[in-house]
């Protein structure tokens, strides 16, 4: 049986708030295990996959801040420097 963590334990491991843990679950970045109407737990291996996705089979989610391959960053056309 996988080790299950509370939202507070996950938050401590990831150094984020428990509210952000909930947002990750709602966004699909972290899968939750419902153990009651209002209680959720998280598998340790899923949490560790967020820290080190290279050693995981979990899907990697791109955020909007990550440029997509082939996209160009905005730059000043006169200087060629990024804005």
Please state, in angstroms and rounded to a whole number, the distance separating the CA atoms of residues 62 and 69. 11
- pLDDT tens digits, residue range 15-74? 999 999 999 999 999 999 999 999 999 999 999 999 887 755 555 555 445 555 665 656
Burial of 48-59, coded b for 16+ CB within 10 Å and e otherwise, reads: ebbeeeeeeebe
Q: What pTM did the predictor assign?
A: 0.62
Please state, in angstroms and rounded to a whole number, the distance separating the CA atoms of residues 13 and 44. 10
């Amino acid at each position: 049986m996988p080790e299950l963590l509370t939202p507070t334990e996950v938050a401590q491991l990831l150094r984020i708030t428990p509210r952000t843990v909930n947002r990750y679950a709602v966004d699909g970045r972290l899968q939750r295990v419902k153990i009651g109407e209002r209680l959720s737990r998280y598998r340790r291996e899923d949490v560790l996959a967020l820290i080190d996705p290279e050693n995981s089979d979990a899907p990697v989610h791109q955020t909007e801040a990550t440029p997509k391959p082939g996209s160009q960053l905005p730059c000043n056309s006169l200087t060629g420097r990024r804005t």
